[in-house]
Amino acid sequence: MFRLDGKNAVVTGAGSGIGRAIAKTFAAQGARVFVLERDEDAGAQTAAAIASAGGQATVVACDVSDAASVDAAFAHVGARVAADAGRIDILVNNAGIAHIGTVTSTTEADLQRIYDVNVKGVYLCSKAAVPRMVDAGGGVILNLASIASLIGLLDRFAYSMSKGAVLTMTRSIAVDYIKQGIRCNCVCPARVHTPFVDGYLRDTYPGREAEMFRQLSEYQPIGRMAEPEEVAALALYLCSDEASFITGQAFPIDGGVLVF
């Protein structure tokens, strides 16, 4: 179950954190993974880790906020898979950035930066992938949203705006392309322990990292943050044939936040 043998998967922002975990998990289950990453060195590290475990991965430079960059990346991926009589089977829109602030403390530049990556990036990559999937008879798109899509979070105005848009884009794509064989879902994590979290604590709370890590962990009633591999496992299921009856849905992975 949950094998991806013979499938081609594009994962954006796969150079670290959740994206890297998804890329490695998909490759371990037989997929050929295309690592779309603005930081090519980070992407190369993901690809090397996959190769060392016996998997297949190709790094493709891509800035998801730039239309020309996205078009070039998908043209490259499309040519590579066509050369092997394949197709783009899976797109995971993982690339994203965070921001802390309220509506009054968020600058116009802050809002634009979050929009360009978290919203426009999902739009551009989906726009590039969907026609190719339609021509091939179907495919799967998985978007990384957040529990911020579902509830209000303190000091996350711009970030919540962007992830709310991801949720509604997910449902729109699912409705528009269900008859063309495309499924589209999103996952909504609570806090996930990634290098971003460690860097944020180091830069924002020097000398208090352990204390603040504990506070962030205890926000989840289960008492800890998620691990990237746990999000990757859910992503694997939703992109596998075993989830072929699921589309247009948001899946919280939140350690009990929405329950309590």
Cβ(31)–Cβ(54) below 8 Å: no
Residue 159 annotated to the active site: yes
Cβ(128)–Cβ(70) below 8 Å: yes
Tokens coding 36: 């779309």
217: nearest Cα among 236, 198, 203: 198
| Cα–Cα dist 80/189, whole Å | 32
Question: Which of 115, 159, 177, 205 is labelled catalytic?
Answer: 159
The full length of the chain comes to: 260
DSSP codes of every residue in 211-244: HHHHHHHHTSTTSSPBPHHHHHHHHHHHHSGGGT
**Phi/psi at 5 (5° precision):** -55, 135
Q: Which residues are CB-neighbours of 168 under 8 A, at least 6 positions away?
A: none
Residue numbers annotated as active site = 159
